[in-house]
Amino acid sequence: MGMKVLDKEVGNEALELTPEVIRETSAIYERVRHIIPAAEWAVHAPYISAIRKLKQERKAILLAHNYQTPEIFHGVADLTGDSLALAREASKVNADYIVLCGVHFMAETAKLLNPSKTVLIPDPEAGCSLASSINAEDIRALRRKYPGVPVVCYVNTSAEVKAESDICCTSANAVQVVESLDSDRVIFLPDEYLGRYVAGRTSKEVILWKGHCEVHEKFTGDELLAYRKQYEGLVILAHPECPPDVLAEADFVGSTAAMIQEVGKRVPRRVLMVTECSMTDNVAVDFPQIEFVRPCNLCPHMKKITLPAILESLKMRKHVVEVDPMIADRARQSVDRMLGLKP
């Protein structure tokens, strides 16, 4: 047995699909074989095996967002979830290293919540169009324009933006966070569409920012109508970062974790998850009986995290995520206030 994968990103070391690797990864492959073709698995398996060994040696825990590819999500992750779950889990990790398989704001949040651990991100360029749509000065300007109005920031923001905000929220608790504030007006940023969704569920006036997710803004209501016509009995689940016409067409709206839960609850014959494409692959692993309709929009930032990048991250102990001590305490307060709300 001797298929070799040339690992360019870890010093040209060749990773081999040996009988030992096949044996070590066979149980995982059994779960994902209807999602990952055998030829692709032959490339992934040596990395999966090497990462699983090295994370033990390093005493590292791998946290993976629901948008990570199936070979990461099912192959190497210790804990998976939406942004809220990853933040909660990160605060409890008792290992030397947290490797955050997701985008930069998620790694920063993990560092804020567990500052004594070394947090690594396999690619520091894994950003987010929402996080880059606003900075600390923008919030200071909003506060000057709307004095006394509390600021709610979506977790998809940098630590400096969290530090300027009163409280953080995720897609799982945005309505609850806005409702918790003792004010008739609230500034909600940076996601305009999530903000509009929240505004429709609260009596408070919601002042919005014009940030958008570059993945979810691509979906349209017309596209969903066309799928409904084509696939009889289709159940449509959508993420609240989608535009309003998409949400109006959906049967259910919720965070990535809530969408997964909904699939498990309904077990529909046919389902369309209006969100990043890899999540559908991850869910399909556990529901082979469901037909998943897939308009495939990928997040280019999430896709920067790959098995070779994770292996290199563990080997070289990089890229270490730090938060400027001048802002860390205030940013942490904003996340802690959110986590302090009763679920």
Question: Which amino acid, 230?
Answer: Q
Q: In three state form, how does the secondary structure of 125-184 look?
A: CCCCCCHHHCCHHHHHHHHHHCCCCCEEEECCCCHHHHHHCCEEECCCCHHHHHHCCCCC
Which of 36, 93, 98, 213 is the binder for ligand SF4 (CB under 6 A)? Answer: 213
Is residue 68 a contact point for ligand 13P (CB under 6 A)?
Answer: no
Beta-bridge partner residues of 207: 187
- x/- letters, 140..179, toward ligand 13P (CB under 6 A): ----------------x-------------xx--------
Is residue 121 a contact point for ligand SF4 (CB under 6 A)?
Answer: no
Q: How far is the CB of 5 from ligand 13P (least distance, A)?
A: 30
Q: How far is the CB of 129 from ligand SF4 (least distance, A)?
A: 4
Q: How big is the chain by its Cα radius of gyration, in Å? A: 21
Which of 32, 130, 247, 314 is the binder for ligand SF4 (CB under 6 A)? Answer: 130
Is residue 334 a contact point for ligand 13P (CB under 6 A)?
Answer: no
Which of 157, 255, 278, 333 is the binder for ligand 13P (CB under 6 A)? Answer: 255
Which of 74, 162, 301, 319 is the binder for ligand SF4 (CB under 6 A)? Answer: 301
Q: How far is the CB of 256 from ligand 13P (least distance, A)?
A: 4
Give the three-state DSSP class for 285. coil
d(CA 188, CA 194): 9
Say if CB 243 and CB 224 are below 8 A apart.
Answer: no
Q: For strand 205-208 and strand 151-154, is the pairing parallel, antiparallel, or unpaired?
A: unpaired
User: Which is nearer to ligand 13P, 150 or 240 (by Cβ)?
Assistant: 240
Of 185, 250, 240, the closest CA to residue 217 belongs to 240
Q: Work out what residue 77 binds among ligand 13P, ligand SF4, none; the CB cut-off runs from 5 to 8 Å by kind.
A: none
Could you tell me the two tokens for 24? 């070590």
d(CA 174, CA 86): 16
Of 67, 80, 63, the closest CA to residue 128 belongs to 67
User: Which is nearer to ligand 13P, 29 or 197 (by Cβ)?
Assistant: 197
d(CA 228, CA 289): 19
- Residues binding ligand SF4 (CB under 6 A): 103, 128-130, 156, 213-215, 241, 276, 299, 301-302
- Residues binding ligand 13P (CB under 6 A): 66, 82-83, 156, 170-171, 213, 239, 241, 255-256
